[in-house]
Amino acid sequence: MTGELSGQTAIVTGASSGFGRKIARYYADEGATVVCADIRETPREGGYEDDPDRSTPEIIEREGGEAIYVECDVTDPDTVSALVETCVSEFGGLDVFVNNAGIYPPLGKVHERPVEDLDRAYAVNVKGVWNGSKYAVQQFLEQDSGGTIINVVSLAGLCGWAEQAAYNASKGAAKQLTETLAIEYGPEGVRVNAICPGFAPTALTSDLYDVEEFKQKITDNAPYGDRWVSPEDVANAAVFLASEKAAFITGECLTVDGGYGLTYAHTRDL
């Protein structure tokens, strides 16, 4: 297949559902070979996937692309190391690593929520990015050909939002990791960027998206458009950041939110 990512090999974590599923499919559409990593092969329940009974690699292969599934828990460094090793053994190298896997703890003020919320958020949203980036960089350095890391952070990593302190803190840390990695490994030809989406309809946020009043507040406060962020919006950004069109972009946090963050920063009104 030809396209923006023709000839590249990419790993996408959290690829069975939501943003990761769409990113993996768009990468394949653009000619990349994709390693779909997740703790489960089929989509999470409660999401808005088309064809939810099929795995992401099944859909990619049905559409003429090349992909495999590798079970991976991003909180476990050994399984992330094995993920990269599998990618290299199967396809000869690694060009793009997308740290997409994440969790969204229940809403609530700090004094109302257990500290385990913070532990879980950091284990996946921070340690997962650390692990993925570490083993991707090791492979990039061994190849001596550079590479690209894309972290799916969140608008919540850029500004504080009420009732989701654990999530905010973890995503803020992921944002800082992005910038630090860009500084450390830029001289080695490694680009590291982040995508910061606003609210999007995925399994992680279905409890909010299905509440009409909340859904409408988000829609009404976005300066551009009359909808939430879509997985397609995020996937398009991920294709761009992995492509040669972004060859001189690193350390950036690309917001994909229809301008919602600009409004929220002034009103703090969800």
SS3 173: helix
Whether 122 shows a pLDDT value over 90: the answer reads yes
Look at residue 4 and tell me if it is in a domain: no
In tens, the pLDDT along 164-211 reads 999 999 999 999 999 999 999 999 999 999 999 988 878 777 777 777
Encoding tokens for residue 50? 């088309």
Give me the pLDDT at residue 218, please: 76
**CB-based contacts of 23, cutoff 8 Å, min separation 6:** 12, 15, 98, 100, 231, 234, 235, 238, 239
Residue 2 lies in a domain: no
Position 70 in a domain: yes
Q: Is the residue at 158 inside a domain?
A: yes
Tokens of 47: 């999401």
Phi, psi of 24 (to 5 degrees): -60, -45
In this predicted model, what pLDDT tens digit does every residue of 2-29 receive, in sequence order? 799 999 999 999 999 999 999 999 999 9
The yes-or-no verdict on residue 270 having pLDDT over 60 is no
Q: Looking at the domain assignment, is residue 159 inside a domain?
A: yes
Residue from 27, 135, 167, 209 carrying the catalytic annotation: 167
Question: Domain for residue 1, yes or no?
Answer: no
pLDDT digits (tens, 9 = 90+) for 86-98: 999 999 999 999 9
The question of whether 167 is a catalytic residue gets the answer yes
| Containing structural domain, residue 224 | 9-267
Residue 252 pLDDT > 80, yes or no? Answer: yes
pLDDT of residue 265: 53
Of 76 and 208, which is predicted with more confidence?
76
Terminal Cα-to-Cα distance of the chain (whole angstroms): 43
For the chain, give the mean pLDDT: 93
pLDDT > 70 fraction of the chain, expressed in percent and rounded = 97
Confidence band of 1 (pLDDT split at 50, 70, 90): low
> Which domain CATH number covers 151?
3.40.50.720
Q: Please give the Cα distance from 270 to 265 (Å, whole number).
A: 11
Under DSSP, the state recorded for 124 is I
Question: Where residue 137 falls among pLDDT bands split at 50, 70, 90?
Answer: very high
What does the pLDDT read at residue 224? 79
Q: Which residues have a Cβ under 8 Å from the Cβ of 241 and sit 6 or more positions away?
A: 148, 150, 191, 193, 195, 249, 254
Q: How many domains does the chain have?
A: 1
> Does 127 fall in a domain?
yes
Nearest to 96, CA basis, from 153, 42, 24, 43: 24
| Per-residue confidence (pLDDT) for residue 228, from 0 to 100 | 83
Listed in sequence order, the residues at least 6 apart from 215 whose beta carbon sits closer than 8 Å to its beta carbon are: 208, 209, 228
Q: What percent of the chain has pLDDT over 90?
A: 77
The confidence score (pLDDT) of residue 72 equals: 98
Residue 3, in any domain of the structure: no
